[in-house]
Amino acid sequence: MKGKTVILGVCGGIAAYKAAALCSKLTQAGVKVHVVMTESATKLVGPVTFQALSHEAVRIDTFDELDPGVISHIDLADRADAVVVAPATANMLAKLAHGIADDMLSTILLATTAPILVAPAMNVHMYSNPATQANMELLRERGVQFIEPGIGQLACGYLGKGRMEEPEAIVEYVRAHFAAQEAPKPLAGKKVLITAGGTVERLDPVRYFTNDSSGKMGFALAEAARDKGAEVTVVAARVSEPLPRGVTVVRAESALQMEEAVLSRFAEMDLVVKAAAVADYRPVEAAPQKIKKTGETLQVTLVKNPDILEELGKRKEKQFLIGFAAETEQVETYAMDKLHRKNCDLLVANDVSRSDAGFGTETNVVTIFDKNGPALSLPLLSKRETAERILALALERMMGGGQA
């Protein structure tokens, strides 16, 4: 994002206070931020706050021309690499949808040809009002990108959808937007399926067996594939990370549901990565009612789950298949056994006994195996960078190069 120019439009919603943190984080990331506030926004946060955080003059009034050499709203609109409106009120969305330009921000939004990203924030009923929904639909069709509000406690006292996404998440969205714009698209026209998270095997309606997988590695792969131009489907089990954007997400809680979700889509895929931690066993049956406490011990009988990856290996035709293996010992031996047994093209093994690799960590240390043995050992990297390297190797192999 360094060196990019972003117009940060701040509207008059309570979440305007969060825009100060957003302004600060964008500036810290090397972005030149020009803040444009609506009159209403200035009633909630002082312009001086944004001026101090962005080191730039804050624009409010269309006719308050700071530089006689240019027409300020056109000059700003032209210079922007992106316009981010956060918070975006229902009123501003309506104006943007209908081409109304009656203040500095709405005029810039009409004048700019830069991508527009909006983070709505409003009362749950204003959000779900058909007028707002229709305006959002229209804007989506025209290419405006929405950073969806979350569900939570709203300032008006309601609990519901309408809370502006957190500044950190908006920064990540903006970062991903620029990364996606600039990345080469070697996976354009390819369909990629990625499984992520840990499966949930129900014991009764309120209890289940699961594992520590957070979904981070799978989501990093999905985002990396998306930014390389692929049409990505993520089959997500239990995850603790926000779902990736710009991809199709299919929820599948248990191994059996994941099997169905994956097998039914497999034929049309070009690349499949099984990053999910699938439970090897499930309770023989999930009790329909909550199991009551009775004896001193409770015996649960588990039955083996189908091995989804192994099944994919059997059905494989044109698909390039990547498996994962989380190991705590004899990594190479077990990884090679899995690669052959499940007929994978590549197998990514991580030593989950390390504290900086595996489940829930930000980083990973992996070795990628092919049918001849170790093909690539990666150092300690972020999961996103690890994902980039895995896909780069897969692409090389899919294009028919680089194999010993």
- Own/partner pairs for 365-374, CB < 8 Å, 24+ apart? 366/390, 367/331, 367/332, 367/335, 368/393, 369/332, 369/335, 369/336, 369/339, 370/339, 370/345, 370/346, 370/397, 370/403, 370/404, 371/339, 371/340, 372/404, 373/332, 373/336, 374/332
Residue in 11, 23, 156, 344 annotated catalytic: 156
The minimum distance between CB 338 and ligand CTP, in angstroms, equals 5
DSSP string spanning 125-162? Answer: HHHHSHHHHHHHHHHHHTT-EE-PPEEEE-TTS-EEEE
The minimum distance between CB 32 and ligand CTP, in angstroms, equals 43
Q: How many helices (H) and strands (E) in the chain?
A: 14, 21
Binding-site ranges for ligand CTP (CB under 6 A): 255, 274, 276, 278, 280, 305, 307-309, 323-326, 338
Element spanning 388, H or E: helix 383-398
The minimum distance between CB 272 and ligand CTP, in angstroms, equals 10
Q: Which is nearer to ligand CTP, 88 or 339 (CB)?
A: 339
Pairing of strands 231-236, 248-251: parallel
Query: Is 11 in the active site?
Result: no
The minimum distance between CB 360 and ligand CTP, in angstroms, equals 16
Residues tagged active-site: 156
